[in-house]
Amino acid sequence: MSEFRTLGEFIVEKQSDFPHASGELSSLLASIRLAAKIVNREINKAGLVDITGSVGAENIQGEEQQKLDLYANDKFKAALEARDQVCGVASEEEDEAVAFNKELNKNAKYVLLMDPLDGSSNIDVNVSVGTIFSIYRRVSPVGTPPTQEDFLQPGDKQVAAGYVIYGSSTMLVYTTGNGVHGFTYDPSIGSFCLSHEKLMTPETGSIYSINEGNYIRFPLGVKKYIKYCQESVPEENRPYTSRYIGSLVADFHRNLLKGGIYLYPSTESHPTGKLRLLYECNPMAFLIEQAGGLASDGKNRIMEIKPTELHQRVPFFVGSKAMVEKVEQFIEQNPNE
């Protein structure tokens, strides 16, 4: 077996890891791969053409939409609809789930949920952004339009999840429940090539990632955990290093490789958290668990939460196992008054 393997070759090689799909995963990920290449091309032209900045509208969460948010959303939807593996998508940029009505989609077995361009406000200043995706096997009968129940499945029902990070290099990282694998885009040949096989995150790390500007609004347990991270205890490799990019994909990717924890707790303005369970937290939870880490809302395993709405938000703590367990201890020992 050659050491040089493209994403397509690797998926075919690992087809036995996805026995109930028999070629479907390859086709589905090919759609994601194509859309990622197109979005990558446009991101690399930011500043040269009129694709940066906002469109003057807000999405369902009340957040200002960026031009590339909508561009990425359209490209991923079009690429997925063009093949016969997905019957519908739910997106952070759409109010409701979108059913694909073409003849070739009616017998599709899967639905896909996505954040088409995470961290898009950072594009104007040339900071890494990403795409996050989550794939489920539909629960409604094949041959009928997808239903809300197809999209409102807990994270432990995911059959695949991953992200694309558009940074100093472009990488696609995914799991089907048999480890985490990363592929780096080689623009000279137009292919994603295997660069990180069977990724495992360290048991603990020395990085904590949180927007400390909101410190005064954090729950007491999170405040005390931050102080714990800042204490000087050389034998425990503390103080930890604070690193926060403000793009979930970028912060997660760094901590996955180096070891660390990403925290987005509830605040006074977002009492149930800010990150979306279906588009951001579940896929990242699937990935980190496959890499040996943990993902929690501070009390419960993220992937066991039963969604009740498409744009549901939750607190999110994800990363190295020992670090997530430690912040859970602080939260349990310090309930808010």
Q: What is the predicted pLDDT for the residue at 146? A: 94
User: Would you place residue 123 in the very low, low, confident or very high pLDDT band (cuts 50, 70, 90)?
Assistant: confident
- Report d(CA 113, CA 90) in Å as an integer: 5
Q: Is the pLDDT of residue 20 over 50?
A: yes
By DSSP bridging, strand 170-175 and strand 275-276 are unpaired
- Sequence-ordered strand ranges (E) for 259-322: 261-264, 275-276, 294-296, 313-314, 316-319
Feature table: binding site: 92, 115, 117-121, 211, 244, 262-264, 274, 280
24 vs 241: which has the higher pLDDT = 241
Alpha-carbon distance values, 69 to 93, 116, 264, 278 (Å): 7, 7, 22, 17
Q: Is the pLDDT of residue 1 over 70?
A: no
Feature table: binding site for substrate: 118-121, 211, 244, 262-264, 274
Coil/strand/helix, residue 154: coil
Alpha-carbon distance values, 157 to 181, 256, 282, 293, 308 (Å): 20, 22, 10, 18, 15
pLDDT in tens, 141-161: 999 999 999 999 999 999 999
- 253-282: average pLDDT: 96
> What value does the mean pLDDT of the chain take?
90
User: Would you place residue 48 in the very low, low, confident or very high pLDDT band (cuts 50, 70, 90)?
Assistant: very low
The residues near 325 (Cβ < 8 Å, ≥ 6 apart) are 294
- Report d(CA 212, CA 241) in Å as an integer: 13
- 223-228: average pLDDT: 98
Map out the domains of the chain with their CATH numbers: 7-196 (3.30.540.10), 207-333 (3.40.190.80)
**Radius of gyration in angstroms for the set of CA atoms belonging to the chain, rounded to a whole number:** 19
Q: Is the pLDDT of residue 277 over 60?
A: yes
Q: Which two tokens stand for residue 263?
A: 């925290």
Q: What is the predicted pLDDT for the residue at 126? A: 81
Written as one letter, the residue type at 203 is E
Instruction: Pick the range with the lowest mean pLDDT from 25-34, 87-96, 207-216.
Output: 25-34
pLDDT in tens, 59-81: 555 556 678 889 999 999 999 99
Q: Is the pLDDT of residue 116 over 90?
A: yes
User: Would you place residue 19 in the very low, low, confident or very high pLDDT band (cuts 50, 70, 90)?
Assistant: low
Coil/strand/helix, residue 296: strand
Q: What is the predicted pLDDT for the residue at 42? A: 85
Q: In which element (H, E) is residue 334 found?
A: none
Coil/strand/helix, residue 60: coil
User: Would you place residue 122 in the very low, low, confident or very high pLDDT band (cuts 50, 70, 90)?
Assistant: confident
Feature table: binding site for Mg(2+): 92, 115, 117-118, 280
